[in-house]
Amino acid sequence: MSENEKTLVFVYGTLRKESSNHFRLGKAPFVKEGWILGRLYRIDWYPGMRLDEEGVPVRGEIYEIEREALRELDVFEGNEFERLKTKVHAKGGGDFHVWLYEYCKEVDSDAELLPADWVHHERRIDRKAHAPLFSLATFILLPATAALGAFMTWADPESFSRLNWILQGVSIALPFLAFLTGRKAHARRERWAEGAEVCAAVAFVVFCLMLLIHFLPSAFEAFPN
């Protein structure tokens, strides 16, 4: 397959047209709705499918994408899914040989979704569950970390001596919380997860710089040449 050659991919979960990660397909042309026999399971806020000739029709959509876009999907799906090529039945008749991502980890049989149509089930999920809450939390923690660092750097220590131990604890907690929320946003594959991880790293670096600015002069005074 050449770099610019296009291929077909069958999506059945959050990459579908009405679902939360459809934007990852970019402007890939829609080909047809389709289905394949299998079992659809709720893994978390996203589904996973296992192929099964004795299963039920798993509904999805066929798109035409470029090779580079397929590589990006490989990264997005991660090691929970295995990409394979198989035959999918098109709605209205006809078959297509397509790529699809089969879930390859353990599944809970009680989590099987019937009908095997993720969009049908996603409509029933509280939309707040798909909001980028952890990404937003990370974005808030970044200026909070910088503000606290600036306060501790330039404020008169005598003016907050009684609260010093509290501020020290908060100063440690903020970058740690930013790191945790950034990682959680990545684990949930939120829309702004990449930005959240960057903000988490920046929050930690900014605060470390503030601490250096605050304590470095004292260190030089304690150990004069």
Q: Are residues 108 and 204 in the same domain?
A: no
Average pLDDT score over residue span 200-209: 76
pLDDT of residue 127: 46
Q: How confident is the model at residue 145 (pLDDT cuts 50, 70, 90)?
A: confident
Assess contact for 207 and 171: CB atoms under 8 A: yes
Average pLDDT score over residue span 26-42: 97
Among 106-120, 143-157, 170-184, which is the least confidently predicted range?
143-157
Secondary structure (H, E, C), 30-57: EEEEEEEEEEEEECCCCEEEEECCCCEE
Q: The domain containing residue 149 runs over which residues? A: 131-222
Question: Who wins on pLDDT, 25 or 186?
Answer: 25
Q: Are residues 34 and 116 in the same domain?
A: yes
Is residue 26 over pLDDT 50?
A: yes
Spatial CB neighbours of 177, under 8 Å, sequence gap ≥ 6: 137, 141
Question: Who wins on pLDDT, 28 or 167?
Answer: 28
Q: How confident is the model at residue 223 (pLDDT cuts 50, 70, 90)?
A: low
Name the strand (E) or helix (H) holding 10. Answer: strand 6-11
Average pLDDT score over residue span 131-146: 82
Is residue 217 over pLDDT 70?
A: no
Q: Are residues 30 and 109 in the same domain?
A: yes
Q: Are residues 103 and 147 in the same domain?
A: no
Among 53-57, 112-116, 134-138, which is the least confidently predicted range?
134-138
Helix 193-222 vs helix 164-187: crossing angle, to nearest 10: 150
Q: Are residues 67 and 91 in the same domain?
A: yes
Q: Are residues 181 and 108 in the same domain?
A: no
Among 2-16, 74-88, 109-123, which is the least confidently predicted range?
2-16
Q: Spell out a b/e string for 123-132, using b for 16 or more CB atoms within 10 Å of the CB, else e.
A: eeeeeeebeb
The CATH number of the domain holding residue 115 is: 3.10.490.10
Domains contained in the chain, number: 2
Assess contact for 148 and 174: CB atoms under 8 A: yes
Question: Who wins on pLDDT, 56 or 196?
Answer: 56
pLDDT of residue 74: 97
